[in-house]
C-alpha cells in the first residue's frame, strides 16, 4: 500500500478543498484523436460530432433512445445457474460476474424491452458490450429466447442489436449450446410470420455472428461496425495473405452483399419503423423518407 497516495494526498486535497476530477469527462475519437466532452457525446447518441465515428452505445441508453419518448416495458432477466463450471483463469468467473454487474448495473449482457418505435410495437434486444465483452452465455441465451417468446405472445416483430465478442468461454459447452437455442427461437418467429431485424453494431463477432446475428429478414449495420467470425489477424495468419482494406467493416460487407444497408445511428428508429411497416404490409408514413444506405 502506498501511504502517500492513499493517506497523505487525500488529506492534503481535503484541506485545500480540491475535488477529484472524473477520468471520463473527455472521450478521445479513435479515428481522429479529437477530444469530445462526454455530455456532448451522449447528447449526440455516442456519435463523434465532427468525424461521425460511432462509439459503443450503452444498452440502457440505446433502449431509451429507440422507443418513443423513452417509454418501454423492461422484460425480466431470466434466472440461470451462476458459474456452473466453477471456472477460473487469471480471475474467478464469479468475480468477473460481480465486477461486471457493479460496472454496468445489469444482471447480464442482455437487456430487452417492449414498446413503440414511431408507432410500431416491437420487442428490442440489446447487448451491453461492457458486460464481459457482450459475450453469449446461459443468461444471455435464455434472455433472447424469452424475448422471442414475448414477441410471439404479442404478435409483434423483434429487433436485436448485437455487440459481442462471441460465446462466453467461462461457460464452455453450456455457452455454445445457446447458439442452437437462439437459432430455434428465431425460427419460431419466422414460422409465425413475424419480422426479425438485426442491427449489427461494433463489434459483432464469433459465435454470435455464427447464429442469430446473421439470421435476420433484414440486416442493418451501423457505419464502421466490425462484423465477422474470426478476427482479421487470425485470418491473415491462417491464409498467410494480407486482407483487403476495410475487411470486415459494415461498408465492406454491404458492398459484398452480407448486409442490406448501413444506417447512421440517428436514422435507425425511422428506418426500423418503415422497414417493419413494409414487412407487415402496413401503410408507410410519408413524413420521413426511408434512410439511404451508406
Q: Please, what is the Cα angle at 146 between 46 and 276, to 5 degrees?
A: 60
Q: How confident is the model at residue 206 (pLDDT cuts 50, 70, 90)?
A: very high
234/207 Cα distance (integer angstroms): 15
Query: Looking at 23-32, 84-93, 258-267, which range is the least confident one?
Result: 23-32
Tens of pLDDT along 109-122?
999 999 999 999 99
**pLDDT(241) > 70:** yes
Q: In the prediction, which pLDDT does 141 show?
A: 97
Give the confidence band of 25 by pLDDT, cuts at 50, 70, 90: confident
Q: Residue 288 pLDDT more than 70?
A: no
pLDDT given for residue 253 in this prediction = 96
How many residues does the structure list for the chain? 294
pLDDT value of residue 232: 87
pLDDT at 10 over 90: no
Amino acid 41: pLDDT: 94
Residue 171 in grid coordinates: 461457460
**Confidence label for 231 from pLDDT (cuts 50, 70 and 90):** confident
Helix H or strand E encompassing 221: strand 218-221
- Give the per-residue pLDDT at 118: 96
Distance, in Å, from the CA atom of 159 to the CA atom of 124, rounded to the nearest integer, reads: 5
Query: What is the pLDDT at residue 284?
Result: 79
For 12, how many CA atoms within 13 A lie in the half-sphere containing its CB? 7
The angle that helices 178-191 and 138-154 make with each other, rounded to 10 degrees, is: 10
Q: How many secondary structure helices (H) and strands (E) does the chain include?
A: 12, 9
5 versus 292: the higher-pLDDT residue is 5
Cα end-to-end span (Å), the chain: 53
Indicate if the pLDDT at residue 202 is higher than 80.
Answer: yes
Q: In whole angstroms, what is the distance from residue 135 CA to residue 82 CA?
A: 15
Judged against a pLDDT cut of 80, whether residue 12 lies above it is answered with no
10 Å CB burial of residue 12 (0-12, 13-18, 19+) is: exposed
Q: Which stretch, 24-38, 135-149, 233-247, has highest mean pLDDT? A: 135-149
For residues 81 and 73, give the distance between their C-alpha atoms in angstroms, rounded to a whole number: 25
- Beta-strand runs (E) in 108-204: 110-117, 120-127, 158-161, 196-200
pLDDT above 80 for 71 = yes
Are 203 and 226 spatial neighbours (Cβ–Cβ below 8 Å)? yes
Is the pLDDT assigned to residue 279 strictly greater than 80? yes
Strand partners, 160: 125, 198
Residue 2: pLDDT above 80? no
Amino acid at each position: 500500500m502506498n501511504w502517500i497516495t492513499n493517506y497523505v494526498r487525500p488529506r492534503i486535497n481535503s484541506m485545500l478543498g480540491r475535488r477529484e476530477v472524473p477520468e471520463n469527462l473527455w472521450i478521445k475519437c479513435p479515428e481522429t484523436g479529437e477530444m469530445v466532452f462526454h455530455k456532448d457525446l451522449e447528447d449526440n447518441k455516442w456519435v463523434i460530432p465532427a468525424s461521425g465515428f460511432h462509439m459503443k452505445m450503452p444498452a440502457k441508453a440505446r433502449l431509451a433512445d429507440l422507443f418513443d419518448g423513452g417509454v418501454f416495458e423492461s422484460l425480466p432477466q431470466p434466472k440461470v445457474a451462476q458459474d456452473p463450471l466453477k471456472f477460473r483463469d487469471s480471475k474467478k468467473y464469479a468475480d468477473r460476474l460481480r465486477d461486471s454487474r457493479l460496472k454496468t448495473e445489469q444482471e447480464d449482457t442482455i437487456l430487452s424491452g417492449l414498446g413503440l418505435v414511431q408507432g410500431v410495437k416491437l420487442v428490442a434486444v440489446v447487448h451491453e458490450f461492457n458486460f464481459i465483452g457482450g459475450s453469449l452465455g446461459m443468461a444471455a441465451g435464455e434472455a433472447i429466447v424469452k424475448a422471442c417468446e414475448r414477441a410471439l405472445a404479442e404478435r409483434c416483430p423483434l429487433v436485436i442489436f448485437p455487440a459481442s465478442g462471441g460465446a462466453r468461454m467461462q461457460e464452455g459447452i453450456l455457452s455454445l449450446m445457446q447458439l442452437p437455442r437462439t437459432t430455434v427461437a428465431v425460427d419460431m418467429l419466422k414460422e409465425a410470420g413475424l419480422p426479425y431485424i438485426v442491427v449489427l453494431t461494433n463489434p459483432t463477432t464469433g459465435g454470435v455472428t455464427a447464429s442469430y446475428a446473421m439470421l435476420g429478414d433484414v440486416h442493418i449495420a451501423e457505419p464502421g461496425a466490425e462484423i465477422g467470425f474470426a478476427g482479421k489477424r487470425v485470418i491473415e495468419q491462417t491464409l498467410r495473405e494480407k486482407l483487403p482494406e476495410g475487411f470486415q467493416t459494415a461498408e465492406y460487407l454491404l458492398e459484398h452483399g452480407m448486409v442490406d444497408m448501413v444506417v447512421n445511428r440517428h436514422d435507425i428508429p425511422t428506418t426500423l419503423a418503415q422497414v417493419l411497416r413494409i414487412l407487415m404490409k402496413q401503410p408507410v408514413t410519408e413524413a420521413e423518407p426511408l434512410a439511404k444506405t451508406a
